[in-house]
């Protein structure tokens, strides 16, 4: 660890102009900056000098974290501020490195910064991690052409070139990801490229390097190197130094990663050029700060490659028709076959998916209809799809729907039915193209190439939604701005683009083939038309399910918590899988608000949750979800506003779950708790599902036997008391929810599998097919679902191979009944073994109506009390986490700032 502190004696400056804590504290205002995009944590503390648009460095610290950034960042920040005598309330701005770098590392810094800035009600300014490296080198006295080569894993790097002059740092190219060997070739100029221009050749002032960075010694090789060579920095040199050494002169290793000074100088540069104002909290809402990825997730990249192939396969089953391919009939199903038709229809019956080559002819036909002489051919459209710097999206409606303004729900149902029915037929996808949009990402902006909507489906927001999807991809690819050309006569399109935040910059004369002028428009990236990060919010579903909350709220609005709110007020966050949720509980155990943003629409087309997409959506949604949670709580309490500072603790799910998703919630919650100086409470997700029973039955108390059935867990638990649990038996392979999802995927029914199988099963015969019931008579309480899943897939394969039509309802009903029979038998055994007189449920599968009815019958027969969470509380939600947190608050069971997220946790072990 190295500490580089340089205290300044600048005159005091006025406080920030936001409503944040620093403005109220008076005296100097400070900015807290940090970056965790690689193996080194960089922290900087600076004093804001508005009169000079200056960020005066106060102190900095670098820590070699070795993938422990989430445990080391906040303790180091806390220590640094304490050493400098700076209170949290004096922080007027938070500055964070946005990457590019390690995806998880970038999200740790971003989520922590969002939590701190949100709780302090100050602005959050994101700066480039690579620019921070360049400014750190500049501060050390380096001048000339510099290439920062950051590690991107997978034998790839993020290479960006800068020009370092006496007046500062100038970026020469946008962020991108490149194979390391290709990047080295480009920097060597092997292909004859020279993007650096006629600027002076680089030099190193070794004396300035020695004076600028404490502890950096310039070796003879560096100080003696002649002029005319490119300078090199970046943590990519750790792996690829030998590869890049022929490209130029490698700077000292201390200059390879961001520094606190570099972060502060990058912020100052943005302030002086008008790109940022650290004292304007409204301009720099933490919700709007996002990481720089430079590429889509692996799942999305692979999807684009697959969809760009114009193979004559059935779009539902993935099977190539015999008459077109001349192949032997083979309709065996695997878990990966039925991938692309799982996208869900919206309320208007529209399905949005990445454009595939199979529909390039439809785009060309619509082009001819709506674009006239500017229409693209099918070949031109198809040529676009495999290109890595392109994003193309399409909108589809069910065959036969007419685009009328009425009947949105019916059309949505029709669109879903079209996908469902196509699972059992051999051609088509039951959908027709009604709109498309495409963009080219280059030099940090996306150029919109095409936007088209069927005239019968216009004025539905389809064009705006398509542009939002293209913009979302472009943002992941490193873009921050949007540009396009539109016909001067097309006033309707210009109005749409202005509504999306674009403005006219000029006219390009005679741009179109008929010599009509084009209006050039530019602006920020448009967003999809949803509540938060492209997701609809579910508000107070769990709260309204419990009688404990009846009458909550006060009739008259007050400033701050009303007398109706009993302290402590605890905000809890849930992010263990594909829901971003927040809830507030009061001291009486009443859920004051409960908000859930579900990512199902983003995962459905992949047939299951994609961990990287889940993590990305959490970082986008978490601020908006928490803001909505506070606003809803204020309304329910009769207050004009409920602020972060009114909270008494912050809680979060820390395990088990998808660790990348959990990290976002944990880092955000820790940041908020630290900023507020209130207790930080970690909660076991599985214990939350046990507490979910209190939402429907506030008087519920152990002892009890609980069946936890979800996508990731299947177990029977003996609740001896709150906080004392014994696992009686668990699955030895697949969880129940996982089996439902995989069977639904094999049938082409979409994701999530539980609800759709339940709906289809209602039309089928549960005794039609004798599927196995593994371990039903094993005389223990273990479960096994993999054999049942395999039996269903084998049955589907055999029926298809024999040319028999599938009875999807019968398959679903028989599969579901096999699952229910085993669950009920094991639950009855557990009740007999323990002597418990209460039986409970927990987990997403607890919403299955057949399972609930079977448990009702079992408990009635055995004379046992049945306690079930309301349907709204079966899935993941933050209300159940808040209820656990309240008990842990009362018991003083708090987590430290070095707490981390974990993929696994033992429910039996105290924590």
- Concatenate the DSSP letters of all residues of 111-124 into one string: HHHHHHHHHHT-EE
Residue 715 pairs in a beta bridge with: 708, 730
CA angle (857, 863, 864) in 5-degree steps: 85
Closest CA to 270 of 427, 55, 72, 442: 55
* CB neighbour list of residue 176: distance below 8 Å, 6 or more residues apart: 158, 159, 160, 294, 478
Is 709 annotated for ligand binding?
A: yes
Is 848 annotated for ligand binding?
A: yes
Cis previous bond, 100, omega within 30: yes
Is 708 annotated for ligand binding?
A: yes
* CB neighbour list of residue 521: distance below 8 Å, 6 or more residues apart: 483, 484, 485, 486, 494, 497, 498, 502, 503, 504, 505
> What is the Cα–Cα distance from 762 to 330, expressed in whole angstroms?
30
> What is the Cα–Cα distance from 496 to 484, expressed in whole angstroms?
12
Closest CA to 288 of 32, 622, 594: 622
> What is the Cα–Cα distance from 69 to 396, expressed in whole angstroms?
44
> What is the Cα–Cα distance from 111 to 619, expressed in whole angstroms?
6
Is 713 annotated for ligand binding?
A: no
> What is the Cα–Cα distance from 262 to 898, expressed in whole angstroms?
25
Is 330 annotated for ligand binding?
A: no
DSSP assigned state of 535: B
Find out whether 558 and 640 touch, Cβ atoms under 8 Å: yes
Residue 580 pairs in a beta bridge with: 597
Is 685 annotated for ligand binding?
A: yes
Is 78 annotated for ligand binding?
A: no
User: In the structure encoding, which two tokens stand for residue 369, read together?
Assistant: 């209809």
Sheet of 838-842, strand order? 724-730, 714-721, 704-709, 838-842, 865-867
Is 442 annotated for ligand binding?
A: no
Query: How, if at all, do strands 579-585 and 591-598 pair?
Result: antiparallel
Is 359 annotated for ligand binding?
A: no
Q: Exposed e or buried b for every residue in 230-249, given b needs 16+ CB within 10 A?
A: bbbbbbbbeebeebbeebbb
> Which spans in 477-610 are helix H?
491-499, 600-603
Residue 433 pairs in a beta bridge with: 396
Is 734 annotated for ligand binding?
A: no
> What is the Cα–Cα distance from 552 to 546, expressed in whole angstroms?
11
DSSP assigned state of 595: E
Burial class of 699 by CB neighbour count within 10 A (0 to 12, 13 to 18, 19+): exposed
Is 284 annotated for ligand binding?
A: no
* CB neighbour list of residue 617: distance below 8 Å, 6 or more residues apart: 533, 534, 535, 578, 580, 599, 602
C-alpha pair distances (Å), 743 with each of 61, 315, 767, 788: 52, 18, 17, 10
DSSP assigned state of 106: H
C-alpha pair distances (Å), 585 with each of 5, 249, 640, 886, 893: 42, 58, 18, 7, 17
> What is the Cα–Cα distance from 70 to 664, expressed in whole angstroms?
10
Burial class of 208 by CB neighbour count within 10 A (0 to 12, 13 to 18, 19+): middle
CA-CA-CA-CA torsion sign (326, 327, 329, 331): negative
Instruction: Mark the binding-site residues for substrate, compressed into ranges.
Output: 708-712, 741, 754, 848
User: Residues comprising the binding site for Fe cation?
Assistant: 685, 689, 876
Residue ranges for the binding site? 685, 689, 708-712, 741, 754, 848, 876
């Amino acid at each position: 660890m190295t500490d580089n502190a340089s205290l300044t004696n600048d005159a005091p400056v006025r406080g920030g102009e936001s409503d944040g804590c620093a403005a109220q504290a008076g005296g100097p205002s400070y900015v807290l900056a940090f970056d965790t995009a690689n193996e080194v944590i960089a922290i900087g503390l600076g004093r804001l000098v508005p009169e000079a648009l200056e960020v005066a460095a106060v102190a900095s610290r670098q820590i070699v974290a070795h993938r422990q950034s989430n445990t080391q960042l906040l303790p180091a920040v806390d220590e640094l501020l304490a050493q400098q005598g700076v209170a949290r309330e004096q922080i007027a701005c938070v500055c964070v490195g946005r990457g590019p770098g390690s995806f998880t590392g970038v999200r740790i810094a971003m989520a922590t910064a969002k939590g701190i800035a949100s709780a302090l009600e100050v602005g959050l300014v994101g700066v480039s991690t690579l620019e921070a490296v360049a400014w750190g080198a500049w501060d050390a006295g380096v001048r000339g052409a510099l290439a920062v080569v950051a590690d991107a894993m997978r034998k790839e790097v993020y290479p960006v070139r800068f020009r370092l002059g006496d007046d500062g740092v100038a970026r020469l190219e946008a962020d991108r990801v490149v194979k390391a060997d290709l990047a080295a070739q480009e920097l060597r100029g092997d292909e004859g490229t020279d993007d650096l221009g006629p600027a002076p050749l680089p030099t190193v002032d070794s004396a300035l390097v020695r004076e600028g960075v404490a502890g950096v010694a310039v070796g003879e090789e560096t100080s003696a190197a002649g002029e005319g060579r490119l300078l090199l920095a970046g943590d990519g040199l750790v792996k690829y130094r030998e590869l890049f050494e022929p490209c130029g002169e490698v700077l000292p290793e201390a200059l390879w990663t961001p520094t606190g000074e570099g972060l502060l100088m990058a912020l100052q540069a943005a302030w002086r050029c008008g790109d940022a104002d650290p004292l304007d909290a409204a301009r720099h809402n933490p919700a709007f700060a996002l990481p720089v990825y430079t590429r889509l997730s692996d799942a999305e990249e692979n999807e684009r490659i697959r969809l760009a192939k114009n193979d004559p396969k059935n779009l539902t089953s993935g099977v190539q028709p015999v008459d077109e391919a001349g192949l032997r009939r083979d309709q065996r199903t695997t878990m990966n076959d039925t991938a692309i038709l799982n996208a869900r229809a919206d309320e208007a019956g529209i399905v949005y998916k990445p454009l595939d080559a199979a529909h390039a002819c439809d785009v060309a036909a619509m082009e001819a209809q709506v674009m006239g002489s500017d229409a693209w051919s099918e070949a031109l459209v198809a040529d676009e799809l495999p290109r890595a710097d392109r994003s193309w999206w399409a909108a589809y409606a069910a065959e036969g729907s007419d685009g009328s303004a009425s009947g949105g729900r019916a059309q949505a149902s029709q669109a879903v039915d079209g996908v469902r029915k196509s699972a059992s037929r051999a051609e088509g996808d039951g959908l027709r193209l009604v709109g498309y949009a495409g963009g080219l990402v280059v030099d940090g902006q996306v150029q919109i190439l095409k936007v088209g909507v069927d005239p019968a489906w216009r004025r539905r927001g389809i064009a705006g939604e398509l542009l939002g999807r293209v913009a979302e991809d472009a943002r992941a690819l490193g873009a921050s701005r949007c540009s396009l050309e539109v016909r001067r006569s097309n006033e309707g399109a210009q109005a749409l683009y202005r509504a999306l935040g674009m403005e006219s910059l000029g006219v390009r004369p005679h741009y179109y083939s008929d010599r009509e002028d084009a209006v050039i428009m530019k602006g920020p990236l448009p967003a999809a038309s949803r509540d938060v990060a492209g997701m609809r919010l579910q508000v107070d579903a769990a709260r309204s399910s419990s009688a404990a909350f009846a009458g909550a709220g006060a009739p008259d609005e007050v400033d701050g918590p009303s007398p109706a709110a009993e302290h402590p007020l605890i905000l809890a966050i849930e992010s263990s899988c594909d829901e971003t949720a927040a809830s507030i509980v009061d001291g009486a155990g009443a859920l004051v608000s409960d908000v859930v943003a579900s990512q199902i629409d983003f995962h459905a087309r992949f047939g299951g949750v994609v961990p990287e997409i889940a993590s990305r959506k959490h970082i986008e949604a978490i601020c908006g979800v928490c803001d909505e949670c506070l606003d809803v709580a204020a309304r329910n309490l009769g207050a004009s506003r409920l602020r972060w500072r009114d909270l008494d603790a912050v809680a979060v799910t820390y395990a088990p779950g998808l660790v990348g998703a959990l990290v976002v919630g944990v880092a955000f919650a820790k940041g908020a708790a630290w900023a507020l100086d209130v207790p930080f409470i970690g909660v076991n997700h599985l214990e939350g599902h046990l507490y979910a029973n209190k939402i429907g039955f506030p008087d519920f108390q152990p002892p009890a036997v609980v069946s936890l059935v979800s996508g990731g867990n299947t177990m029977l638990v003996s609740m001896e008391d709150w906080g004392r649990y014994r696992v009686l038996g668990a699955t030895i392979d697949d969880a129940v929810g996982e089996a439902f999802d995989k069977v639904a995927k094999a049938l082409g029914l979409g994701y999530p599998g539980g609800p759709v199988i339940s709906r289809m099963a209602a039309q089928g015969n549960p005794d039609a097919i004798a599927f196995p019931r593994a371990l039903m008579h094993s005389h223990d309480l273990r479960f096994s679902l993999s054999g049942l899943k395999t039996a269903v897939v084998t049955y589907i394969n055999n029926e298809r191979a024999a040319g028999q039509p599938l009875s999807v309802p019968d398959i679903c009903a028989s599969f579901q009944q096999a699952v229910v029979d085993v669950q009920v038998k094991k639950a009855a055994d557990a009740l007999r073994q323990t002597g418990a007189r209460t039986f409970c449920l927990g987990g997403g599968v607890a919403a299955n109506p057949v399972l609930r009815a079977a448990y009702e019958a079992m408990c009635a027969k055995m004379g046992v009390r049945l306690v079930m969470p309301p349907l709204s509380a079966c899935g993941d939600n933050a209300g159940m986490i808040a209820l656990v947190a309240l008990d842990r608050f009362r018991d003083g069971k708090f987590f430290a700032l070095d707490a981390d997220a974990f993929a696994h946790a033992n429910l039996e072990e105290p924590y």
